[in-house]
Amino acid sequence: MPEEYKPSGPYKFPIRRWMSLEKMMLTNYPRLQKDFEKLRRKVSANGKDGKTEEKKKHLEWLLRKGENKKAQITCPYCKKDPVKYFFVKYFFYEKKFVVKESFAFCGKKSCQSDASPGAGSDGAVEVLPVKFSSIDRFTLKKDQKKITRLLKKLFGLNSLKNEDLFRFFSC
């Protein structure tokens, strides 16, 4: 079995030191997904480049952590389990969507129906998991920001400092 990768700190960029892969999870998640694909191809083409390999390992670790974080908010309906999903309510005529904390629920059927905002006559609802990959569901930057804001609330994430984010993703 391969040894588990355990980074000791955030992955900061050599030139832009204030930026890290950790911060990009919140500022440009879709870009990270694309970067990971590129790194994967690069590493399999030339496995001896230590820097590329390190970045690939760190990113792989980070993306996996982002999919397994537990929300800090308890389901407002059963008041028992942490929220795991949230509703997105689309308004087709106005070409917009709404997400909010009260649209989040634990996953139980009864909580789902309590949390459902209802589709209305000119809209639809969709259920997405409380995971970073849900940001990737949206193509517009402003929409991605909206999802990120909600995730930050659900994960109880207040700081955007590289070290704080690293701690958040590590545990």
* Residues near Zn ion (CB under 5 A): 75, 77-78, 106, 108, 111
When the beta carbons of 47 and 156 are compared against Zn ion, the nearer one is 156
Provide, rounded to whole angstroms, the least separation between the CB of residue 90 and Zn ion. Answer: 23
59 or 106: CB nearest Zn ion:
106
Residue 77 CB, nearest approach to Zn ion (Å): 5
For residue 169, give the nearest of 134, 137, 132 by alpha carbon.
132
**Nearest residue (CB) to Zn ion, 43 versus 78:** 78
* Cβ–Cβ < 8 Å for 11, 169: no
CB atoms within 10 A of CB 159: 11
Structure tokens at 4: 């588990």
**How far apart (Å, rounded) are the C-alpha atoms in residues 81 and 89?**
23
- Of 7 and 76, the one with the shorter C-beta distance to Zn ion is 76
CA distance 11 to 26: 14
Q: Of 72 and 159, which has the nearer Cβ to Zn ion?
A: 72
Q: Do 41 and 47 form a contact (C-beta atoms < 8 A)?
A: no
Name the minimum Å distance from CB 75 to Zn ion. 3
Q: Write down the least CB distance from residue 151 to Zn ion, Å.
A: 18
The dihedral built from the CA positions of residue 63, 155, 69 and 139, taken in this order, carries a sign that is: negative
Question: In the bound complex, what is the minimum distance in angstroms from residue 108's beta carbon to Zn ion?
Answer: 5
